[in-house]
């Protein structure tokens, strides 16, 4: 009995020891889990701080500010957006209002778009005139990423008159763009029809592209006229180089016709000089960030992996409207465009 009682006591002691050991292991597990949770929370906190943190590198800071500005324009109240546009008014009379369109603001609404110029025109009209003012009217459009001169009309009659001037090519439009490469020749006219086509890839999408009505004869290399695409639109763009440096050029462009994405397509596919920051038309069959020359990356102090953040450098610089007497409007370059010119050492001509 004594032996059996001793065995029982040993058994109890070993069982108690095992229980204590198990409790220790479980406690250790809980402690480890708690530590891991704390570490994870700390990492998340640091990650959020880094996202909020202002980058030390000026280029990264500039790109982030530009992206933030574009997002803010989509998040502000329509009244605030109308006030921003009012502050960017360049000219107004009894027929028209001319504004400096900011970067990243679409003209028309669509999927995923909260704010656009068209939606705030009634508010803008009241801010510029009075509460009984008729809503302003769109006369033409600019791409979401394009900045510069934009004309609005105060009445339907004025809008129709101005649209007719655009349609009959009586409005002179001058754009400035920074492009990759150097056009050859440095001045000329691109006259190639444009058509919209579906791009067959792992992520199908639509793009505007060239639809030339000629081809080179393989035997003698002579130009042969061929039947044109019946869906293609005539497109004509004049261009001239203003400056060249850092594997880039500053071009002055005059679109004679008004086809969708005309300048971007003619420069990228016609001249082989895509606009800086034009990620859509720098490739045909894929959706990918623009590939930049090494020299350009060095001057911009940018890594290729960050190139996707570069904005489109296309600006509606000047517009001449023949309303009775010709009205000539010039819009200065946005700050991000000016900074890029300085970084790339592209000198704006004095004339």
Residue predicted with more confidence, 31 or 263:
263
Q: What average pLDDT does this structure show over 264-271?
A: 97
Q: Report the CATH number of the 57-168 domain.
A: 3.30.70.580
* Residues in CB range of 106: below 8 A, 6 or more apart: 113, 116, 117, 144
Q: Are 90 and 98 in contact (CB under 8 A)?
A: yes
Tokens coding 190: 């691109």
Backbone angles phi, psi at 217, to 5 degrees: -70, 125
Q: Are 317 and 148 in contact (CB under 8 A)?
A: yes
Tokens coding 256: 């004679």
Q: Are 102 and 88 in contact (CB under 8 A)?
A: yes
Q: Per-domain residue ranges for the chain?
A: 57-168, 170-345
Q: What confidence category does residue 12 fall into, taking pLDDT thresholds of 50, 70 and 90?
A: very low
Looking at the DSSP assignment, which residues form a beta bridge with residue 189?
Answer: 238
Q: Quote the CA–CA distance of 172 and 320 in Å, as a whole number.
A: 5
Q: What confidence category does residue 233 fall into, taking pLDDT thresholds of 50, 70 and 90?
A: very high
Residue predicted with more confidence, 27 or 221:
221
Q: What is the pLDDT of residue 167?
A: 94
Q: Quote the CA–CA distance of 335 and 345 in Å, as a whole number.
A: 15
Q: Quote the CA–CA distance of 253 and 288 in Å, as a whole number.
A: 26
Q: What confidence category does residue 46 fall into, taking pLDDT thresholds of 50, 70 and 90?
A: low
Indicate the fold that domain 170-345 takes in CATH.
Pseudouridine synthase (3.30.2350)
The mean of the pLDDT values for the chain is 86
pTM of the predicted structure, to 2 decimals: 0.81
Can you list the positions of beta strands (E) in the chain?
Answer: 89-92, 96-101, 137-138, 147-153, 172-180, 187-191, 194-199, 205-210, 214-216, 223-225, 236-245, 248-255, 314-323, 325-330
Model confidence at 153: pLDDT above 50: yes
Q: What confidence category does residue 170 fall into, taking pLDDT thresholds of 50, 70 and 90?
A: very high
* Residues in CB range of 222: below 8 A, 6 or more apart: 216
pLDDT tens by residue, 60-72: 777 777 777 777 7
C-alpha of 147 from chain center: 10
Q: What is the pLDDT of residue 54?
A: 62
User: How many C-beta atoms surround the C-beta of residue 156 within 10 A?
Assistant: 11
From the candidates 100, 119, 143, 278, give the one annotated as an active-site residue.
143
Residue predicted with more confidence, 53 or 114:
114
Q: Quote the CA–CA distance of 257 and 189 in Å, as a whole number.
A: 12
Least confident of 10-24, 265-279, 336-350: 10-24
Residue predicted with more confidence, 73 or 188:
188
Residue predicted with more confidence, 32 or 179:
179
pLDDT tens by residue, 302-333: 999 989 889 999 999 999 999 988 999 999 99
Least confident of 7-11, 152-156, 169-173: 7-11
Can you list the positions of beta strands (E) in 31-111?
Answer: 89-92, 96-101
Residue predicted with more confidence, 34 or 292:
292
Q: Are 136 and 125 in contact (CB under 8 A)?
A: yes
- Buried-state track 306-343, b at ≥16 Cβ within 10 A, e below 16: ebebbbbbbbbbbbebeeeeebebebebbebbebbbeb
Q: Quote the CA–CA distance of 203 and 1 in Å, as a whole number.
A: 83
Q: Quote the CA–CA distance of 259 and 187 in Å, as a whole number.
A: 21
Q: What is the pLDDT of residue 275?
A: 98
Model confidence at 58: pLDDT above 80: no
184 given a catalytic annotation: no
The crossing angle, in degrees rounded to 10, of helices 335-344 and 58-75 is: 160
């Amino acid at each position: 009995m004594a032996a059996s009682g001793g065995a029982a006591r040993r058994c109890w002691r070993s069982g108690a020891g095992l229980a204590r050991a198990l409790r220790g292991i479980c406690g250790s597990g809980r402690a480890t889990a708690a530590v891991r949770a704390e570490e994870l929370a700390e990492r998340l906190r640091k990650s959020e701080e880094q996202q909020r943190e202002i980058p030390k590198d000026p280029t990264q800071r500039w790109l982030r500010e530009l992206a933030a500005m574009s997002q803010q324009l989509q998040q502000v109240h329509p009244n605030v957006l109308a006030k921003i546009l009012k502050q960017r008014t360049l000219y107004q009379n009894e027929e028209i209002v001319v504004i400096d369109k900011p970067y990243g603001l679409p003209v028309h609404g669509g999927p995923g778009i909260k704010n656009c110029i068209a939606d705030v025109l009634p508010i803008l009209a009241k801010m510029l005139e009075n509460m009984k003012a008729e809503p302003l009217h769109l006369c033409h459009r600019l791409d979401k990423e394009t900045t510069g001169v934009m004309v609005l009309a105060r009445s339907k009659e004025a809008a129709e008159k101005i649209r007719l001037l655009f349609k009959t090519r009586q409005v002179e439009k001058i754009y400035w763009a920074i492009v990759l490469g150097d056009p050859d020749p440095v001045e000329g006219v691109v006259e190639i029809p444009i058509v919209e086509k579906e791009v067959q890839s792992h992520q199908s999408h639509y793009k505007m592209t060239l639809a030339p009505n000629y081809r080179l004869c393989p035997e003698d290399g002579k130009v042969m006229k061929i039947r044109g695409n019946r869906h293609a639109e005539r497109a004509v763009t004049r261009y001239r180089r203003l400056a060249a440096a850092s594997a880039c050029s500053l071009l002055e462009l005059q679109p004679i016709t008004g086809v969708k994405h005309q300048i971007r397509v003619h420069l990228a596919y016609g001249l082989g000089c895509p606009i800086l920051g034009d990620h859509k038309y720098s490739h045909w069959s894929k959706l990918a960030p623009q590939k930049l020359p090494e020299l350009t990356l060095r001057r911009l102090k940018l890594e290729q992996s960050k190139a996707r953040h570069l904005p489109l450098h296309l600006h509606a610089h000047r517009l001449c409207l023949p309303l009775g007497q010709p009205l000539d409007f010039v819009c200065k370059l946005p700050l991000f465009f000016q900074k890029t010119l300085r970084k790339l050492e592209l000198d704006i001509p004095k004339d």
